[in-house]
Amino acid sequence: MDYLKELNPPQREAVERTEGPVMIIAGAGSGKTRVLTYRIAHLIYARGVDPFQILSLTFTNKAAAEMKHRIESLVGLDARNTWMGTFHSVFAKILRVESEKIGYPSNFTIYDTDDSKSLIRSIVKEMRLDDKVYKQGVVLSRISGAKNRLISWQAYQKDPFVKADDEAAMRPRMGEIYQKYQDRLFKSGAMDFDDLLFNTNVLFRDHADVLNKYQHRFKYVMVDEFQDTNLSQYLITKKLAAVHQNICVVGDDAQSIYAFRGADIQNILNFEKDYPDLFVVKLEQNYRSTKTIVEAANSIIDKNKAQLKKTVWTSNPDGDLIELIKATSDNEEGRIVATTIFEERNNKKLNNSDFAVLYRTNSQSRAIEEALRKMNLTYKIVGGLSFYQRKEIKDLMAYMRFTVNSVDEEAFKRIINYPKRGIGDTSVEKILVAAYDHDMPLWEVVQNAPNFLSGRAGSSVDDFATMIKAFQIEVERKDAFEAANFIAKQSGLLRELYEDKTIEGLNRYENVQELLNAIKEYVDNPENEDKSLGAFLQEIALLTDNDRDKDTTDAITLMTIHSSKGLEFKQVFVVGMEEDLFPSQMMMQSREDLEEERRLFYVATTRAMDKLYLTYALTRYRFGRLLNCEPSRFLEEVDPATIKVNKRMSATREMPGAMRQEGLPGGSGFIGLKKKPESRVPSQMKIHTPSPDFKPSNTNNLQAEQLVEHPKFGFGKVEKIEVEGLNRKATIKFEHFGEKTLLLSFAKLRIID
C-alpha cells in the first residue's frame, strides 16, 4: 500500500509515530485530516491493531463520518469498528451502557439548549425570581461553565469566590437554581450536553472497574482540535490513556477561539508538562492558501505572546495582494462587498459557493444581506434556525422522546395539550406538583390522572396516557420509521398541520414529512446497526451545527468567524474591521482576551484560498446609534507588503463593473496599486502611541479651545461641542489625523489644558 508516499516528511513522521504520547501541531491548511486518517489506517494495516482498540475523538460527527469513510477506502470494512465520533456522542454511547451505575436510566433523554432554557424558565418562575435578572441564557451559561470545570452544584454552593461573584452580579440565588436544575434533570431521566462529559467524569471517578474496562479497551487514544478541549474533556482522555500512554493530540493553538464555550488553551500549551517524554511534530506546510495570505496570517499571529512557535509556509503561488477597503458606512460596506462578488464571480467564472463573508457578530449580516438581495445574489446564513429547531419538528420529536422516556418533563409539557385536548396550564401544573410532592415519577402520575385531577381534565390526561402506551408498544415492535410514522399520525399532529392551508402551514407539514424521510434514511442506512427510535433520537440530539447544515444550494456563505473554523473558500471578505467591533470591546480586559481575538482574526484570514478582502466602515449603526468608527488595531499588525489599499466608492445608480478614475463624479477607483514590497497601509491609519501617563479624563465639562490627547489620533484641539439629545459630540482637529467628530460617551480623551 503506497499511502505513505502521499505524505510530506513531517506528515509521515506523525503517521508512523504510533507509540507513546504525541502532539501534532497542525498549522492552518496543513493536511491535518489526511494525517489523522492515515494514522488510523496505519495502526490497522501496518501495526495490526484491532480497530475496536482505537478511540478517535472529533468535534463534529460529519468529520468523524468523513474520516471513517476515508479509512474504509484504505483498509476495508474493518474501519467501521473504530470508536470514532464527537466527545459527546462517544461518551453518550458509554453512558447508555453504564448509566444505571450513576442512577440514570439507559434510555435517558439528552436536552438541547431550548429544553434547558425552558426548564430554567420554569424554575425561575417557581422561585418567584425576576426573569430579567435571572435570564435563561445567563443562568444556563453560568451552570455550563461550572460543569465544564467539573464544579458540581454542591461544590458551587460551598465556594466563597463563586458566591461572591454571584452576589456582585446581583444573582445570589444562582446556586439554588443550579441545584434545582440538576434535580429536575435527574428526575426527568435527562442530561444536558455538559452532563454527558460531567457524568462520564463522575462514572470514571466513582467506578474504578468501569474506568479500568475502557482503559484496557482503548489502546490508542486520538483527539482532534485539541486546542478546543475544556478541562472536563481533557481529564476524560487523560484517564483513558493512563494505562497504555498512547495518546495523540492534534491541534493548533493559533486557532483556539472558543474560550466562551469553556475551551482552555492551556490544555495544548501545557500538554508537555503532563507528558515529559512527549514527541512533537509540526505540520507547517500550508496547502490551502496563496503565499501572500500565509505571510499575512503569520504576521498577525506572531504578535501573540502565548503560543507554540511554528513557521507556516507554502509552495503555492504568491497570488493577489489582500485588498483593504474603506467604506463611509456599514450600508456602503455591504454594497461594495456585493458589487465585488458580482464582478469577481462573472470575471473569473466562479460559483456563489466560492465566496464567504465573515463577521464578528451576527448583527452585521443585515447590511450585507440587503446589498446581496438588491443584486439578486443567492446567499445562505450559517448559524440561523436549523431544521431541528423548528417548532413542528420539536413537537413531533417531543412525542417520540416522551414515548421512549416517559419521565421527560420538558417533552411532556410540550405535547400534553398539543394538539389541543382540553388540558390547561393549571392541570399541567397540578400533575407536576403531584409528582414532586409525592416523590413519584411523572409517568406514574399521568397514568393515574383521575386520582389527581377531577372532571374533564382528568379524563383527557387518562386518554393521553392510553395513547402514549399504544405508542410504546409500537416502539417496542417496530423500527424507528414505522414507529415515528405511527406517532405522527395517531397523535393528531400530522392532521393538525395538514388542515392549515396557509403557506406557513404547508411548509410546516412538508417539514414534518422531511423529518420522516430522514428517519427512513436512518433506518435504511446499513451502517446503523440499531434501527430503534431511541437510537435515532440520540443521533439527532448529538448533531452539531456543522452536521445539521445540509443545504447544497449554490449560495454565498454569510457566517460569524467562529462558525467558519474548519472551512475554506476561494474568496473571503472579513467585514467590520473596526475598533470595539473587532477586536470586540468585550474582549479587551486582559492580554488573554485580546490574544484570543487575534487568534480569531488569524482564523478568518486562513479561511481564504485565493483572495482575501478586509473591509472597515467610518460610520456604523450600533445599539440604535450612528457611531464614528476607527480602523481596527489588527489592520496595523498585517504585514504591509501583503496589502493593497482599495478605495471603492459604491455608485448605487451605476451598473456593477462601471469603474471610474479617482476624482470623477460618483467615482470608484483604486489607490496604492504599487509593487508588492512597496504597498503600505494608508498613513491615516498609523496609530498614535499614547503618553506614558495617559488616562482618560472626565469630559462632562469639556469646552472648545481645550487641548486633548486621543489614544490613537494623538494630540488635537477641540473646535466645537454639540449636543444632540442625550449625546455630546466634540469636533476635534488632530495634528496628524485632521478633523474628527467623536461621541464623548465613547471617546477616550485626556484633557491637557
Contacts of 311 (CB under 8 A, 6+ apart): 284, 298
32 is annotated as contributing to ligand binding: yes
Q: CA 328, CA 322: separation in Å to the nearest integer?
A: 20
- Tell me: is residue 31 an annotated ligand-binding position: yes
Catalytic annotation present for 266: no
* CA 517 to centroid of chain Cα atoms: 27
Q: What's the distance, CA 312 to chain centroid?
A: 25
Q: Is 738 annotated as a binding residue?
A: no
- CA 312 to CA 194: how far, in whole Å? 35
Angle between helical axes of 231-240 and 208-217 (0-180°, round to 10): 70
Angle formed by the axes of helices 174-187 and 160-168, to 10°? Answer: 110
Q: Which H helix or E strand runs over 477?
A: helix 455-477
Evaluate the CA torsion angle 584, 590, 595, 600 in order and state its sign.
Answer: negative
**Residue 255 a catalytic site member:** yes
245 is catalytic: no
Phi/psi at 717 (5° precision): -120, 135
Contacts (Cβ under 8 Å, ≥6 apart) of 107: 189, 404, 405, 534
Cis preceding-peptide flag for 583 (omega within 30 of 0): yes
Distance CA 687, CA 690 (A): 9
Question: Catalytic one among 607, 620, 633, 648?
Answer: 607
* Conformational region of residue 655, where left means phi above 0, alpha means psi within -120 to 50, and beta covers everything else: beta
Cell of 204: 470514571
Three-state SS string across 60-94, please? CHHHHHHHHHHHHHHHCHHHHHCEEEEHHHHHHHH
Quote the CA–CA distance of 243 and 240 in Å, as a whole number: 7
**Cα 617 to Cα 623: distance, rounded to the nearest angstrom:** 16
H helix or E strand, kind and range, residue 119 = helix 113-126
| Distance separating alpha carbons of residues 178 and 69, to the nearest angstrom | 42
- Is 26 one of the annotated binding-site residues? yes
Question: Does 478 appear as a known binding residue?
Answer: no
Contacts of 514 (CB under 8 A, 6+ apart): 387
Q: Is 366 a catalytic residue?
A: no
**Active-site residue (options: 53, 182, 255, 339):** 255
Q: Residue 256 in contact with residue 90, Cβ under 8 Å?
A: no
Collapsing DSSP to helix, strand or coil, 360 comes out as coil
Q: Which one from 13, 17, 33, 173 is the annotated catalytic residue?
A: 33
Q: How far apart are the first and last CA of the chain?
A: 78
CA distance 656 to 341: 10
Q: Any binding-site annotation on 29?
A: yes
Measure the CA–CA gap between 349 and 424, rounded to whole angstroms. Answer: 59
| Cβ partners under 8 Å of residue 80, min gap 6 | 51, 68, 72, 527
Active site (annotated) includes residue 706: no
Catalytic residue selected from 225, 253, 332, 579: 225
Tell me whether residue 224 is one of the annotated catalytic residues. Answer: yes
**723: burial class by Cβ within 10 Å (0-12, 13-18, 19+)?**
exposed
Catalytic positions: 32-33, 224-225, 255, 607
Annotated binding site: 26-33
Annotated binding site for ATP: 26-33
